[in-house]
Amino acid sequence: MNKLTFRTDRCKGCGLCIDACPKGILAIDENTINPKGYHPAYIKEQEKCIACAMCAMMCPDTVITVEKDA
C-alpha cells in the first residue's frame, strides 16, 4: 500500500495539501494542536492514496513524505 506521512510537529495547517489532493483524503485535525500551536493536516483514508505526491509538492514546509508501492 502507498504510504503518506506527515511531520505533524512542523505542520502549520495551511491547507494547501488538502486543496491539492485529487482524492480528497486529507483534512485538518481539529482535535490536535502541535507544538507550534497549529492544527496539523492528516490523511483520513490511507488506503485511497494514489501516491501522486501533489500534496508534498504543494507543502511549503516540506512536512509530507510519500512512499509509493514498488
pLDDT in tens, the chain (70 residues): 889 999 999 999 999 999 999 999 999 999 999 999 999 999 999 999 999 999 999 999 999 999 988 7
- pLDDT for position 1: 84
Query: E strands along the chain, which residues?
Result: 3-6, 26-28, 41-43, 64-67
Assigned CATH for 3-67: 3.30.70.20
- pLDDT for position 11: 97
- The residue extents of the domains of the chain are 3-67
Phi, psi of 20 (to 5 degrees): -80, -20
Q: What DSSP character marks residue 37?
A: S
- pLDDT for position 46: 94
